[in-house]
Amino acid sequence: MAHGVRREPAAKPPATADCPQQLTRALGAFLERSAGDEDASGEKVACTSSDLLALIEKKAIGDGRGCRPPWVSVVVGWRDAGMKALPMALEPTIYDIAKRAQVGIATVSRVLNGSEGVAQATRAAVQSAMNELGYRPNRAARRLAVRGPNRPRVAAIMPFFSTNFYFTVSRPISQGLAAAEMDLVLYDIENREAKLRLLDRLVAERSCEGLLMCSMGIGPERQEQFARLGIPVVCIDYPLSGVPSVTVDNLAGGVMATDYLVRAGSRRIGLVTGPSAALAIRLREEGFVRTASTDAPLARADAITRQGGREACAALLDGHPSVDGIVCVNDLLAVGVIEELRARGRRIPEDVQVIGFDDQPLMDVLGLTTVRQPMLAFGEWAARAIQALITDPRSPVASVQLSLSLIPRTTTRPLADASAARPSPRAPHRPSRPKAKKERP
């Protein structure tokens, strides 16, 4: 028999539809095979889907003495039972793709896996062959082959490890999909190139039934690509024309945070922001500039981390020591800002007020005033939306914009006390450390 072909257990295989679960697993195992059996003459017979039933009818598969592999009986039984799943076996395989593209099956496999080392022209030829033949890798069959559940899979793409925001959003997504008997696969994506490579893989492999994009979008051509494959797309924290999305008004959030510091008595307000690649951060910056002025000082952190916030705060204060209010585009940056202010002997909120954005876990313990995003509601809406579209692609799912709210805590002064907190906006700073230099009035 051909090497590399997995065999069914020695138990007698079912030849009818009396044992549908066994038939399903057996067919799944068959669809997973990557090599053909030998015919009566000892030559390899390519088990491509287009030749399978013809070979069975000609009794070309076997040992020449009427003995056939167990899976042949399974497929025949499936056919004779008139079960609708039989056409699965007639879908094009990687052999068909390789023949059409005039490449080896190993090359087809590398293209499907998104591996590097394949010439662009060759990759294009393989992808063209897949499109022409309507190829769709059967992930359900793979799960059946290992006796796993045949459940819809939802791929979620996001910079998962960059901030706690994504963990908080992902939790209700996972819970909602699990309740609907759907699986969630999280992909941590750090940059545009990684996103494009992953999207190519998802398209080539057809390895999901739904796609969630968090804080990032896809272009019109890619949208059409997923639409042709029948894979619905939903966006989180990113407004995208033609795609159902759940968002907040980040520009208004930037205005809200900055205006609150103004009303709380700050007169020299600075901004600590993050990488400009993120649309949400750019919009919050714009809201700050609209409220504070175009010449208000700004310091940009290299990453959304405590250390990034501390370093950006140090740069801001070194260049503008009279700053008495700091808006942060993320809570984690705000934590770093507070650490740097305390290290410099600045009192919070008496000398410098600080406000964050998100209201991530433990911010209430730290007493951080912040703009709250409804992160749990993001995930809950996304889970419902993608579930509805997978269940019925015609489901009317409209985009929504959720509300932001400002949560005042101890890093800002109460608005009622703002006028008495600083008698003069130009009053000199009085440091608490003996060695600190006084600011110029």
Strands 37-38, 44-45: pairing kind: antiparallel
Question: What is the mean predicted confidence (pLDDT) over 208-232?
Answer: 92
Strands 369-372, 405-407: pairing kind: antiparallel
Please, which residues have CB within 8 angstroms of residue 336's CB and are 6 or more apart in sequence?
A: 301, 305, 306, 307, 308, 309, 310, 311, 312, 313
- CA 420/CA 20 separation, integer angstroms: 79
Instruction: Give the per-residue pLDDT at 164.
Output: 87
- The SS3 of residue 248 is coil
Taking Cα atoms as reference points, which of 306, 307, 317 lies closest to residue 344?
317
Flag whether pLDDT at 384 surpasses 70.
yes
Between the two ends of the chain, the Cα-to-Cα distance in Å is 90
Query: Domain ranges in the chain?
Result: 20-91, 151-247, 250-372+406-421
Strands 298-300, 353-358: pairing kind: unpaired
Taking Cα atoms as reference points, which of 186, 371, 165 lies closest to residue 278?
165
pLDDT tens digit sequence for 73-101: 545 554 444 443 334 444 677 888 899 99
- CA 59/CA 80 separation, integer angstroms: 16
**What values do phi and psi take at 89, rounded to 5?**
-75, -15
Residue-level length of the chain: 441
Task: Please determine, looking at this structure, whether the domain spanning 151-247 carries the CATH number 3.40.50.2300.
Answer: yes
- The model's pTM: 0.65
Weakest-pLDDT range from 40-54, 278-292, 346-360 = 40-54
Please, which residues have CB within 8 angstroms of residue 362's CB and are 6 or more apart in sequence?
A: none
Instruction: Give the per-residue pLDDT at 417.
Output: 59
| Residue 162 DSSP class | T
| Residue 25 DSSP class | H
Flag whether pLDDT at 368 surpasses 90.
yes
Environment class of 218 (CB within 10 Å of its CB; exposed 0-12, middle 13-18, buried 19+): buried
- CA 229/CA 209 separation, integer angstroms: 9
Instruction: Give the per-residue pLDDT at 114.
Output: 61
Structure tokens at 397: 């799912």
**What values do phi and psi take at 44, rounded to 5?**
-70, 135
- The SS3 of residue 211 is strand
Instruction: Give the per-residue pLDDT at 136.
Output: 63
Taking Cα atoms as reference points, which of 340, 354, 322, 270 lies closest to residue 437?
322
**Are the beta carbons of 247 and 237 closer than 8 angstroms?**
yes
Strands 353-358, 233-236: pairing kind: unpaired
Domains 151-247 and 250-372+406-421 share a fold: yes
Structure tokens at 245: 């999305």
CATH class label, 250-372+406-421: alpha beta
Question: What is the mean predicted confidence (pLDDT) over 21-47?
Answer: 42
Taking Cα atoms as reference points, which of 87, 71, 72, 81 lies closest to residue 29?
71
Instruction: Give the per-residue pLDDT at 199.
Output: 93
